[in-house]
Structures are given as C-alpha cells and as structure tokens.
Amino acid sequence: MNHVIDAVSVWAIPVMIGLIPLVGWLRGVNIYEVFAEGASEGFHMAIRMIPFLVGILVALNVFQASGALAAVIGFLKGPLARVGVPAEVIPLMLVRPLSGGAALGITTGILQHYGPDSFVGRLASTLQGSTDTTFYVITLYFGSIAVKRTRYALTVALLGDLAGFIASVAVCHWLFG
C-alpha cells in the first residue's frame, strides 16, 4: 500500500502539469496566450496587493514595538494557564491571526528552545497548522478586489481561529498529556 501512495505522491504534480495543457490543446484553447493573460492578471493583482501588505506589516510591528503585545500576554497568562495553555504559546495565539511569517518565527523559536517533541513544541506546531492568518487574508483578498463590506467574514474567521486554538489545546493535552 505504501508503494502506491509513494507512486501517487511522486507522479501527481507532473501528471497534472502535463494533463492540463493537453486537455486545453484538445479543446482548441491557445494555451500560451491564455497562460500569458493569466500571468499578466496575476502580476497586476500582486501590484495592487502591495499597499495592503505594507499596511498590515506596519500595524503588526507597531503592535509589538509599542508593548501592547506584551501587555496582552501578561493579562492573558493567568487565565489561560488555568485551562492548560502554556505561557510560551500565548504570543503565537495572538500573532497567528495577524501574520504567518511572524507566527512561523515564534513557532521556530519555540521549537529551537523547547524542542519539537516537548509539549510546548507539539502545541505550537498544532496551533500553527490549525489556524490561519485571518486579518492578513481578509485585508489582502478583500482589499485587492475592493470589497468594502465584509459582513460576517471577520467574525466567522476569528471564531474559526478560536475553534482551532481550543481544539489544538484539547487534542495536545489528550494525546501528549
């Protein structure tokens, strides 16, 4: 069974890369022209995203440099410790919805300091994989397509992050005690 999974893993992407242009060609699509048009649209979209990226990175750095992040961590440390959340992962829980790069940096620091097989390391890894960069995604994607009213998107996304945080803590305590 592992041989089948290994073969599929090795060949899935190359087959898709070959199959998509083949199907397009069989349907009479000018593949190069469509590819170039899509690449051009992608480039222009990336240029439109730059101001939103700069804005969220500046806001994150101000949040950290002002001491607000440290103040929030200090406030949350006691209540979260009572429900089994180590203080070391609180910065990750706060930064993950804002910036994937900063969250990955925090996770890397935790793994280097405590090790990947420690409870804190496993919890940090689980948190990293169970949540998303909510504010980054909403700012970037809604901003790049000029959506003004996001309705419930932020609330639902943050509830999803909260569910990911709670599930990560519960599962890690259940599996790794």
Domain boundaries, the chain: 67-176
Name residue, tokens 């590819």: 35
pLDDT tens series, the chain, 177 aa: 778 888 888 898 999 999 999 999 999 999 899 989 999 998 988 888 788 778 877 887 888 899 998 899 999 999 999 999 999 999 999 989 988 888 998 999 999 999 999 999 999 999 999 998 898 888 777 877 777 787 898 899 999 999 999 999 999 999 998
Is the dihedral angle over the CA atoms 107, 110, 116, 119 positive or is it negative?
A: negative
CA atoms of 110 and 86, how far apart (whole Å): 11
d(CA 111, CA 86): 14
The two three-digit tokens of residue 119, written as one number: 């409870």
Give 20's Cβ-side CA count (13 Å radius): 9
List the one residue out of 102, 97, 99, 113 whose CA is nearest residue 165: 97
Q: Which residue has the tokens 């609330």?
A: 155
Residue 53: CB atoms within 10 Å = 15
